[in-house]
């Protein structure tokens, strides 16, 4: 059942992007669309292979660009950058601790939109930037920071339900092994 988790992750991303186009009360509270994709990419980078991280960031970036005023493809690179960085450095990062998940989500929530704005500004586009951007970034960082541990908890529980679990220690005790022959 290892295919279930990637499909579920893509499905949740699809729904999250759709909800980003609505949810007016939350949008007004944050001052920005409630973008949860960076938190999902953080989870994918720690729990899936590079192929899945690439597939998720490519589809999510293209989906967001297709519904927004951005040029198609500009939203992919920041998401892939985040996923690639975390996936290749996962042995150096804490994964189990909730506070580590919070700060990774927080950094992703701020870093991805800012990198996207940077890419847009390199072209002929004029993204809406101003003092209100500071509030938007803090809100998005906080949202993704809070969502990241929740996503880890939810998906880990789902994986525990649907995927084969490694068998526990059997009756055989390894330190009582009798070694035969010359040593």
Partner 1 sequence: MFLLLVLLNLPAPASARLKLAVGGFFLPLFGLASSAHSFVDEASYQLLPRQTLIREVRRLESENTQLRIQSAQGNDAIAENNRIRTQLGLLPRGTWNPRPARIVGRDPSTWWRTLLIDHGARDGARLNQPVITAEGLVGRIAVVGHSHSQVALIGDSACGVAVLVVETRDQGIVKGPQSTVESGIVELSTFQHSPQILAGHTVVTSGDGGIFPKGLPVGKIIDTRAANAGLFTTARIRLGANLNRLEEVWVLEQ
> How many whole angstroms separate alpha carbon 62 and alpha carbon 48?
20
CB of 159 to partner 1, least distance (A): 25
CB of 100 to partner 1, least distance (A): 25
Q: Where does this chain touch partner 1 (CB under 8 A) — which range of 40-48, 115-123, 155-163, 165-173?
A: 115-123
Q: Name residue, tokens 């699809």.
A: 14
Apex 13 CA angle, 7 and 19, nearest 5: 140
Burial status of residue 115 (CB atoms within 10 A of its CB: 0-12, 13-18, 19 or more)? middle
> How many whole angstroms separate alpha carbon 59 and alpha carbon 52?
11
Contact letters for partner 1, residues 63-102 (x by CB under 8 A):
xxxxxxxxxxxxxxx-------------------------
Q: Which of residues 32-61 bind partner 1 (CB under 8 A)?
A: 32-33, 35, 58
For binding to partner 1 (CB under 8 A), which residues are involved? 14-15, 17-18, 20-22, 24, 27-28, 31-33, 35, 58, 62-77, 113, 116-117, 120, 125-130, 132, 136, 140
């Amino acid at each position: 059942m290892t295919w279930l988790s990637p499909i579920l992750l893509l499905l949740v991303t699809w729904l999250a992007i759709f909800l980003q186009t609505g949810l007016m009360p939350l949008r007004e509270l944050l001052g920005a669309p409630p973008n949860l994709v960076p938190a999902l990419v953080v989870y994918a980078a720690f729990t899936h292979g590079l192929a899945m991280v690439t597939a998720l960031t490519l589809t999510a970036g293209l989906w967001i660009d297709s519904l927004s005023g951005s040029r198609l493809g500009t939203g992919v690179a920041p998401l892939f950058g985040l996923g690639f960085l975390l996936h290749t450095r996962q042995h150096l990062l804490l994964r189990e601790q909730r506070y580590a998940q919070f700060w990774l989500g927080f950094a992703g929530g701020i870093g991805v939109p800012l990198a996207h704005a940077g890419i847009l500004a390199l072209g002929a586009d004029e993204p809406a930037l101003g003092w209100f951007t500071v509030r938007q970034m803090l809100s998005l960082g906080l949202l993704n920071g809070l969502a990241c541990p929740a996503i880890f908890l939810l998906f880990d529980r789902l994986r525990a339900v649907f995927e084969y679990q490694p068998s526990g220690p059997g009756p055989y005790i390894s330190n009582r092994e009798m070694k035969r022959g010359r040593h």
